[in-house]
Amino acid sequence: MATLCRPAVSVPEHIITIDDTLALARSLHADHPDLPLALRLIENTGVRKRHILQPIEETLRHPGFEARNTLYQVEAKRRVPPVIQRALDDAELRQRDIDLILYVSCTGFMMPSLTAWLINTMGFSSDTRQLPIAQLGCAAGGAAINRAHDFCTAYPEANVLIVSCEFCSLCYQPTDLDVGSLLANGLFGDAVAAAVVRGSGGTGMSLEHNGSHLIANTEDWIAYAVRDTGFHFLLDKRVPTTMEPLAPVLKALAHQHGWDAADLDFYIIHAGGPRILDDLSKFLQVPPDAFRFSRATLTECGNIASAVVLDALRRMFDEGGAHETARGLLAGFGPGITAEMALGRWSTQGPRGGRG
């Protein structure tokens, strides 16, 4: 049974607080007709601080798409390897034990993918499979876990390394002044995360069942417009309403597995914003505290895109995990509108596995 082990997470050293964000919005957009609405929305995100790659003065500059993407590549190569090493250590595996590297990111572009560089520089076997996922946005964390589960189902002794690298601050666009963009400027943060899915052995979430769902005709609700200046984030005001149609999907997935989605022991949910968690609590009929790990990520880091579910799971580990065979749900939501969902039990199977 494939087990999602303890994630390792790292955030950049530069911090912007909610007070800093509000002050900047008032200063930069003093004449904006919707400034009061934008300030209210930012205040209601529940985000208290975020970590960003550069000092705020540099973040607000736009030296051009090429310069930003170059910085993405440099910082990914600097920050990703130590996070990977911690994730491998936590899973009690070595580089040569990894059969597939899944790299997820929606905030920069590299070809070949960072996976090739990691194999060449970190000692992974040259026959390690590579699977970059670039266009699922915040849902990619859940998608990576599900594709790792699928791979380990096909190859039961295999091990998969998941890497998420999200530098959302490099997507700041000073000319995007719609309310959705102003809200995004106060919501997203930067982070790097990694976790291993072991085909056998390991402590963590033993993955049993997964599924995907696309809400029809919502492709333009979360999207990028790719222009000369880079990625311009588009966020429709209807996005916070998506838990009403997705909650029944989560219930149906659990029902297929013989479980009740309202009666599980733990929940690891993508924290896109507070209403996502509030509505899901209501529609699944679970107490708000059930999403405490996701809320903590949102409060302390903001929306860190595909890294959210890994950081929330890391917080669960920090709390001591769960009792053996505790049942749980993990879900990521993103562009499409897409949901990537997984069910599993807490397991402490020990250190078996690896190529030897």
**Average pLDDT estimate for 253-259:** 97
Q: How much is the pLDDT for 2?
A: 96
Under the banding of pLDDT at 50, 70 and 90, the label for residue 352 is: low
**Average pLDDT estimate for 28-37:** 93
Do the Cβ atoms of 302 and 50 come closer than 8 Å? yes
Q: What is the dihedral of CA 240, 246, 251, 253, to 10 degrees?
A: -140
Question: Which of these, 192, 210, 105, 104, lies nearest to 152 by C-alpha position?
Answer: 210
Radius of gyration of the chain (CA): 19
Architecture per CATH, domain 3-202, reads as: 3-Layer(aba) Sandwich (3.40)
* Interatomic CA distance for residues 161 and 145, integer angstroms: 10
* Whether pLDDT at 162 is above 60: yes
* Interatomic CA distance for residues 228 and 65, integer angstroms: 7
Question: Which of these, 33, 1, 356, lies nearest to 204 by C-alpha position?
Answer: 1
Q: Cα 283 to chain center, whole Å?
A: 22
- Calculate what percentage of the chain has a pLDDT beyond 90: 92
Do the Cβ atoms of 343 and 176 come closer than 8 Å? no
- Calculate what percentage of the chain has a pLDDT beyond 70: 98
Architecture per CATH, domain 204-348, reads as: 3-Layer(aba) Sandwich (3.40)
Element (H, E) at 57: helix 56-60
* Whether pLDDT at 349 is above 90: no
Of all residues in the chain, what percent are helix, strand and coil, respectively (each to 5)? 40, 25, 30
**What are the backbone angles phi and psi of residue 257, rounded to the nearest 5°?**
-95, 0
Q: How much is the pLDDT for 113?
A: 96
Strand partners, 125: none
**Average pLDDT estimate for 106-115:** 96
Under the banding of pLDDT at 50, 70 and 90, the label for residue 273 is: confident
Copy the structure tokens of residue 203.
């402590």
Looking from the CA of 323 toward its CB, the CA atoms found within 13 Å total 3
**Average pLDDT estimate for 149-153:** 98
Under the banding of pLDDT at 50, 70 and 90, the label for residue 272 is: confident
The domain limits of the chain are: 3-202, 204-348
* Whether pLDDT at 38 is above 60: yes
Do the Cβ atoms of 168 and 188 come closer than 8 Å? yes
Amino acid letter, 274 = P
- Per residue in 303-347, pLDDT (tens digit) is 999 999 999 999 999 999 999 999 999 999 999 999 999 999 999
**Average pLDDT estimate for 228-252:** 93
Alpha-carbon distance values, 312 to 119, 144, 212, 239, 294 (Å): 27, 15, 20, 21, 5
How many helices (H) and strands (E) the chain has is answered by 11, 14
Q: How much is the pLDDT for 20?
A: 95
Question: Which of these, 288, 249, 283, 291, lies nearest to 266 by C-alpha position?
Answer: 291
Copy the structure tokens of residue 293.
């790990």
- Per residue in 284-307, pLDDT (tens digit) is 999 999 999 999 999 999 999 999
5, 138, 152, 171: which is the annotated catalytic residue?
Answer: 138
Question: Which of these, 71, 99, 101, 69, lies nearest to 84 by C-alpha position?
Answer: 101
Q: What is the DSSP letter of 297?
A: H
* Whether pLDDT at 232 is above 80: yes
Do the Cβ atoms of 105 and 75 come closer than 8 Å? no
Is 5 a catalytic site residue? no
**Average pLDDT estimate for 141-163:** 97
Under the banding of pLDDT at 50, 70 and 90, the label for residue 1 is: confident
**Coil, helix or strand at residue 165:** strand
Copy the structure tokens of residue 92.
């009690």
Largest CA distance in the chain: 64
- Per residue in 92-104, pLDDT (tens digit) is 999 999 999 999 9
> Among all chains, which residue has been given the structure tokens 């033993």?
206
* Interatomic CA distance for residues 19 and 23, integer angstroms: 6
* Interatomic CA distance for residues 223 and 340, integer angstroms: 17
**What are the backbone angles phi and psi of residue 80, rounded to the nearest 5°?**
-75, -45
Q: How much is the pLDDT for 350?
A: 60
Tell me the average pLDDT of the chain.
Answer: 95
- Per residue in 178-217, pLDDT (tens digit) is 998 899 999 999 999 999 999 999 999 999 999 999 999 9
- Please spell the DSSP secondary structure of 76-91, one letter per residue: HHHHHHHHHHHHHHHH
Copy the structure tokens of residue 62.
């736009």
Decide whether 3-202 matches 204-348 in CATH topology.
yes
Q: How much is the pLDDT for 105?
A: 97
